Amino acid sequence: MSKTRQSDQQISLDLSNEPDDKPAPSAPTRAHDTDALLASPDKMDALLDQWQQMEWIRPLDVGFARLIRTLSAEQGEALHPLVLLLSALVSHQVGRGHVCIDLANLFADAGSILSLPPEDSVEAAGGLRTGETVCPEPDSILARVSLEDSLALLDKAQAVSDGSLTTPLVLNETRLYLRRFWRYEQRIAEGIQARLAMSSPLQDAHSDMATTLGLALTALFGPPVDIDFQRLACALAARSRFSVITGGPGTGKTTTVVKLLAALQAIAGKSGQRGGRKHRIRLAAPTGKAAARLNESIGGAVSRLPLSQLPGNVTPDDIPTRVTTLHRLLGSRPDTRRFRHNRDNLLLVDILVIDEASMIDMDLMASVFDALPATAQLILLGDKDQLASVDAGAVLGELCQRAADAHYTPETSCWLEAITGHSIPDNLSDASGQPLDQAVAMLRKSHRFSEDSGIRTLAEAVNTDTLDAGILRACRDGEFDDVIWLNGRNPTPEPSNALAMICSHAVSGTPEAFREQGRGRIANHQPLPPPVGYHQYLSLLNNHELDERSPRVDWDSLALQVLEAFSDFQILCALRKGPWGVEGINDLVARHLLAEKHITRAEGWYPGRPVLVTGNDYNLGLMNGDVGITFSVPWDRNQQGEPKDTLRVAFPATDGSDGIRWISPSRLQQLETVYAMTVHKSQGSEFNHTCLVLPDRLSPIMTRELIYTGITRARNWFSLITGDASVLRDSVHQQVRRASGLAQRLSQP
């Protein structure tokens, strides 16, 4: 670490002569305590250690701050305590999903930006008091420093640069980054901008290739009548080496991208430059579950394509139907963030399609751009309103910030009209639209839910922050065919009663809770399948007639049926810990199923135990998010040579073969029981019937995106159980705001 020294002029924090109107630190923090912290690196270090002991910040955060101090000392610099504090805080924010920490926002509202102390901390607001000892909170310290002084101190620090030097911290305007995440953001922005800047042979709407695109779209969508946003999305994505197609559930993202790929292959087949050679296309998703779901839907979408009507001699073999995980595609290396495919070993691909892109964090997206050939086309699919990735970054959300209003330039609008026959509405046009806007398409019509669907109504109200008393009353009173708020009539239910309701619901799905079972209709007016609970998969598992003489193919068939039945119903929780979290609900449901004699035990391994893989296991070929069911199978022999029952966990194969992989429980290391899963873990999945469990109090994790994601995991039925009715209403007003500079980078010329 090295940095050219600036002037040694002392930067004064002027702690003793503050303006009279500056707010005083909140009690019980004392001003002179804070002054001492800002004057002594040792005292600041000790404070960070206290915060770690109270679990306000992680050991990693403290360790990083101390590393910065050590490296600075090696350069002959006495690190200022404020820089030590900010080093720990930027690491803390990365752990909370932020790519950086925006110091302007931090100094304006440190309490809400940092969420320190945590809401579930045992210490009272104002700090930990032990006798006469007070542990100040971050906002009380930062309140005594100005943004300007902090920027000056960071600019002077040896550990910080603008990125041109190899320093562990990077300051870009008012955003402070860990260098690694600054590089991720930079690589993603460079990869997108380079592709957006590439000229397209389709740009001339009267060229042969553009004419082929228009003919292909007519074959795929029919003659243009009413404005079709799927058609517009295909046209827009076809002319750019980078594109995003976003839309809510049922808007047809899979159908759209399959038609897009068919159109691109038609153009390639007619292209003299390519000599009729078709594109090499790969399909990927962030998790095994998301890949499996896309596998299920894409084959049917390809089979419905009118390929014989397309120009370019497109065949079914030209449209891939096999989906892999991104980690498998890139070639994961165990125990490292590096991949086999990188800038020195590029993927052999012309077009890469990534589904469920909202789940991709900054690290993984940067790795995708590293592994893509410079001319390869990247197409991202996803719902911009879903939860962001668990790790740092909200890439899709940033790319789609302006998607609702499109911002298509007059040039783009004219081109789209020439290619598709659709006139672009005035409200989607913008003469000052940015280059990224011209590559983002939003699907706006749901083909899954009817206009009067409760799931659709509730999801839209949550997403637009228009959830009112009328919609809540309709959910509570069963006025929707497909939505029920089971304990909505009781604003503050007795916890034991609400938890018992969860157990009952988990077993049966309580179809009687819905106004008329089977009355609901999906958009094409077909009856909805009835709501179910976990009794369905357990009944299949416990009442089969297979034995040691049954061929393995029959056991595979049974496992597929059980796994499909299990995926019909899922409890989703906002929290992980506590009685309302995944850990408490899983234990509660297991004990209830044991009491009802659906399972033989409630702990450890037993037939019927559903498990969720929580970490990638490359040796077993299992990925984070894969779900399996435990079976008792008579395949082993005892000492007398007689068949004996042995536990095996059945996982669906992820190669699209409908096969089953049977794995011994002893080989599974990272997993948890999954009668309930977090809403975060449910991303990339859909269930016939979903029950969302909300806790009895609000927390920072309870956001609009979380509620929306939980609701939209339901394909046909949605039920809600709350510990407190106000939590639903209040959560909708909280939004995920992840600090990053990606959108700003892409908006710059």
Which segments are annotated as binding site for ATP? 247-254
Q: How far apart are CA 320 and CA 415, in angstroms?
A: 29
- List, in order, residues 6 or more apart from 484 with CB less than 8 Å away: 475, 478, 513, 514, 718, 719, 720
- List, in order, residues 6 or more apart from 213 with CB less than 8 Å away: 202, 235, 238, 239, 263, 266, 267, 419
Instruction: Please name which of 526, 503, 684 lies closest in space to residue 598, comparing C-alpha atoms.
Output: 503
How many C-beta atoms surround the C-beta of residue 386 within 10 A?
A: 25
Q: How far apart are CA 117 and CA 412, in angstroms?
A: 49
Place of tokens 């016939």: 688
Name the pairing type of β-strands 351-354 and 323-325: unpaired
Give bridge partners of residue 285 from the DSSP assignment.
325
> Can you state the angle between helices 208-221 and 229-238, rounded to 10 degrees?
150
Instruction: Name the strand (E) or helix (H) holding 51.
Output: helix 41-53
8 A C-beta contact, residue 419 and residue 231 = no
Instruction: Name the strand (E) or helix (H) holding 187.
Output: helix 179-197
Distances in whole angstroms, Cα of residue 677 to Cα of each of 521, 580, 704, 713? 27, 11, 18, 12
How many C-beta atoms surround the C-beta of residue 679 within 10 A?
A: 26
8 A C-beta contact, residue 306 and residue 296 = no
Which backbone phi and psi does 741 adopt, to 5 degrees?
Answer: -115, 10
- List, in order, residues 6 or more apart from 193 with CB less than 8 Å away: 435, 746
Report the binding-site residues.
247-254
Would you give the end-to-end CA distance of the chain in angstroms? 32
Instruction: Please name which of 486, 484, 483, 534 lies closest in space to residue 508, comparing C-alpha atoms.
Output: 534
8 A C-beta contact, residue 95 and residue 63 = no
Place of tokens 């360790």: 63
Q: What is the DSSP string of 334-383?
A: TTSS-BSSBTTB----SEEEESSGGG--HHHHHHHHHHS-TT-EEEEEE-
Place of tokens 């496992």: 559
8 A C-beta contact, residue 246 and residue 382 = yes
The length of the chain is 749
Instruction: Name the strand (E) or helix (H) holding 660.
Output: strand 660-663
Q: How far apart are CA 743 and CA 37, in angstroms?
A: 36
Q: How far apart are CA 25 and CA 126, in angstroms?
A: 9
8 A C-beta contact, residue 231 and residue 224 = yes
Place of tokens 């510990």: 723
Which backbone phi and psi does 137 adopt, to 5 degrees?
Answer: -95, 160
Instruction: Name the strand (E) or helix (H) holding 414.
Output: helix 410-420
